[in-house]
Amino acid sequence: MSNWLVDKLIPSLSRSSSEKRSSNVPEGLWRKCVKCDSVLYRPELERNLDVCPKCSHHMRISARKRLDYFLDKENREELFADIEPVDKLKFRDSKKYKDRLSSRAEGNR
């Protein structure tokens, strides 16, 4: 038999105490290594080309960032940048493909 007081009151107390704590640390300033669980300062990690300084694990990076690492910034021209994806098959998953594309575009802004 469960205690109503414990089930209802205690979770709300712990939730409210955690909500009151605010941090002055900006979001995304730290990143955790998936291999050694070290907490890494993001600017230092980026200077190290997204390689963990503790265990030498190579973090996942985006395709654009990878291109920036091995292509020169000067005289670089992106081809077909104006092409947009089209859903000719009317693909549907848990969400419409068109809705996924629009939410992804909003996230990139």
Least confident of 6-20, 37-51, 91-105: 6-20
- More confidently predicted of 90 and 62: 62
Average pLDDT over residues 18-47: 82
Mean pLDDT over each residue of the chain, to the nearest integer: 79
Contacts of 39 (CB under 8 A, 6+ apart): 30, 31, 32, 33
Domain ranges of the chain: 27-69
Least confident of 20-29, 31-40, 58-67: 20-29
Q: DSSP labels for 60-73?
A: P--HHHHHHHHS-S
